[in-house]
């Protein structure tokens, strides 16, 4: 049994539906870019999420393990 008292006027110690409410904190945000790759060997695709302008020089296919370099790259397509 929860011994904490639920109050409705949102005074210090107020419990929200998911636990103690903290109305004094902000929200943190980050941006993620999703890169899509297609293997020329097996024709399967996969994605990698990155948080900066990382561009791989060589990758290994996650399906057939074929190693390869990026042969088609459009930097304009990576701009948000």
Into how many domains does the chain fold? Answer: 1
Distance CA 49, CA 33 (A): 6
pTM value? 0.54
In a domain, 6, yes or no: no
Per-residue pLDDT tens digits of the chain, which is 80 residues long = 556 555 555 555 555 555 555 555 677 778 888 888 999 999 999 999 988 878 788 999 999 999 998 887 666 665 54
Rounded Cα gap, residues 68 and 57, in angstroms? 9
Cα 34 to Cα 5, 14, 31, 75, distances in angstroms? 45, 39, 10, 13
| In a domain? residue 8 | no
Range of the structural domain that residue 40 is part of = 27-78
């Amino acid at each position: 049994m929860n011994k904490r008292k639920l109050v409705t006027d949102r005074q210090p110690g107020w419990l929200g539906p998911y636990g103690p409410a903290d109305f004094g904190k902000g929200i943190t945000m980050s941006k993620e870019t999703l890169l899509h790759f297609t293997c020329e060997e097996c024709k399967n695709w996969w994605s990698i999420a990155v948080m900066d302008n990382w561009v791989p020089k060589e990758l290994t296919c996650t399906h057939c393990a074929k190693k390869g370099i990026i042969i088609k790259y459009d930097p304009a397509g990576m701009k948000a």
